[in-house]
Amino acid sequence: MELLFDDTKKQIMKSEKVMALYKRKKELQEQIIYWEKFQGVNWLGKWGRSVRLEVLKEKFEKIEKQIIKSKNKKDENK
């Protein structure tokens, strides 16, 4: 009985982690959209915008890889 409870608890924790990743992914998407529309006033603003977009896109890709990795683990466990 305890073993079953532990497995269920682990599955719930994993699904919560995946949901947190999806939430973070959505937040990053919104930030990317904002910064793509943002118009820098001078060269420093344009440079800052481009750096910010690079960082956000890297984080977005990292989150997507984590989501895919967690999905693959779920499929293996079935």
pLDDT for position 63: 96
**What is the number of domains present in the chain?**
1
- Alpha helices (H) along the chain: 2-37, 43-77
pTM score, whole prediction: 0.77
Domain of 42 in residue numbering reads as 2-77
C-alpha dihedral sign at 46, 49, 55, 58: negative
Tens digit of pLDDT at every position of the chain (78 positions): 455 556 676 777 778 888 999 999 999 999 999 999 999 899 999 999 999 999 999 999 999 999 998 878 766 665
